[in-house]
Amino acid sequence: MAEAKRILLEGGAVAFPTETVYGLGADARSDAAVENIYRIKGRPQDNPLIVHVHLNFDLNSLVYDDKPYAKVLRQTFLPGPLTLVYRSKGRVSSRVSCGLDTLAVRVPSHPGAQEFLRYVNLPIAAPSANISKHVSPVSAEHVYFDLNGKIPLILDGGASSGGIESTVCDVTGEYPVILRQGLVSREMIEKAVGRCEVYVPKEGEQVRSPGMKYKHYAPKCKTRLFDDPKAAVAAFEEEKKQGGRVYILCESKYATLFPSEYVLDLGTTPEDMAARLYSLLRQGEKVADIILAVRPQETGGVMAGVLNRMNKACAGE
Ligand code: TXA
Ligand code: MG
């Protein structure tokens, strides 16, 4: 912790665990420290970062917290995998929000993350600790694989239990609008505050969450996504015939359609699938020329976030 704090105060970056994915943190007040993060990741310059703080951090020092429903969301879901986008007071580096007048703030629930954030007592700008566009890391080992030699320290807090990135929710308007789906679902937010919409960019409109426009979360091998398990079986057999190293990513109920040694099994519940997805993609890319993914059947709740990540990992096919 002491070493992490020293590195951060010198403008460096440190990887730390959260309950969603590992973060690559830097002092959000420093232009140079924040720029360093973009450089390490190879991240597009127009994709803003989330500021991470501990539970007792004074939010009013960073943002205008003027919506009563936002308070309810905080009380209901924080600490936890929900990022809230507020109007910014401009107290952190302008590089954090890439010129937007808003600031995304997150209070992670992982005990190691809380301990780290309390210890350094700084607003920490942190994207996921992967090379830009690769699958997000859910263990210290994943961070090491992507960033070995590029950062001086990884705080190892074990496997991230949630497995997909936080829900990003805009709280500047009349009602909450989800910009990125995640483990806090639209249904959960509706239950807490009555109304919640999921943002869908309109044709030609500038997207409100710039991260949405990039290909993301992709493994290094080829991928294909199937709606129909039977079509995946046919494609599997065809790939095998060609001598390709082919693996299947699917929920447990389809696993029996394939030889078990080639199955990356997502499990049965949406929470299982969120927790396993990125590990399985990272495991798969090491051994496969191609991963054939079968889209799970369920769609609502937490599954919306899982499907969003599966679509992005298999973008284009
Ligand atoms: O679970 C998470 O959120 C993880 C862990 C490390 O906390 N972090 C994470 O950060 O996923 P990143 O940088 O990979 O994704 C941040 C997302 C992007 O889609 C970005 O566009 C959006 O949040 N975002 C950040 N600031 C924003 C803002 N002011 N307005 C709208 N969207 C914003
Ligand atoms: Mg990311």
Q: What is the pLDDT along the chain (317 residues), one digit of tens a residue?
A: 999 999 999 999 999 999 999 999 999 999 999 999 999 999 999 999 999 999 999 999 999 999 999 999 999 999 999 999 999 999 999 999 999 999 999 999 999 999 999 999 999 999 999 999 999 999 999 999 999 999 999 999 999 999 999 999 999 999 999 999 999 999 999 999 999 999 987 776 666 666 666 566 789 999 999 999 999 999 999 999 999 999 999 999 999 999 999 999 999 999 999 999 999 999 999 999 999 999 999 899 999 999 999 998 886 55
Strands 246-250 and 263-265: parallel
| Ligand 1 atom nearest 83 alpha carbon | 3
For ligand 1, atom 31: residue with the closest CA: 209
Closest CA to 224 of 306, 310, 317: 317
Q: Does residue 24 line the site of ligand 1, with CB under 6 A? A: no
Q: Which helix (H) or strand (E) holds 104?
A: strand 102-106
Q: Does residue 88 line the site of ligand 1, with CB under 6 A? A: no
Residues 6+ apart with CB under 8 A from 145: 137, 282
CB 106 within 8 A of CB 166: yes
* 84: helix, strand or coil: strand
For ligand 1, atom 6: residue with the closest CA: 23
Q: Does residue 114 line the site of ligand 1, with CB under 6 A? A: no
pLDDT digits (tens, 9 = 90+) for 295-317: 999 899 999 999 999 998 886 55
Q: Side-chain half-sphere of 192: how many Cα atoms within 13 Å?
A: 20
Give the pLDDT of residue 218.
Answer: 86
Ligand 1 geometric centre to CA of 82 (Å): 10
C-alpha triplet 226, 184, 27: angle, nearest 5°: 105
Give the pLDDT of residue 209.
Answer: 67
CB 155 within 8 A of CB 4: yes
Give whole-number Cα distances, 187 to 8, 172, 227, 298, in Å: 38, 19, 24, 14
**Mutation to probe ligand 1, out of 41, 50, 167, 205 (largest number of atoms < 8 A from CB):** 50
Q: Does residue 98 line the site of ligand 1, with CB under 6 A? A: no
Q: Does residue 134 line the site of ligand 1, with CB under 6 A? A: no
The token pair at 242 is 């060609």
| Ligand 1 atom nearest 96 alpha carbon | 26
Task: Name the residue with tokens 């004074």.
Answer: 58
Q: Does residue 49 line the site of ligand 1, with CB under 6 A? A: yes
Closest CA to 309 of 183, 127, 202: 183
CB 250 within 8 A of CB 293: yes
Neighbours of ion ligand 2 (CB under 5 A): 128
Q: Does residue 104 line the site of ligand 1, with CB under 6 A? A: yes
- For the entire predicted model, the pTM comes to 0.96
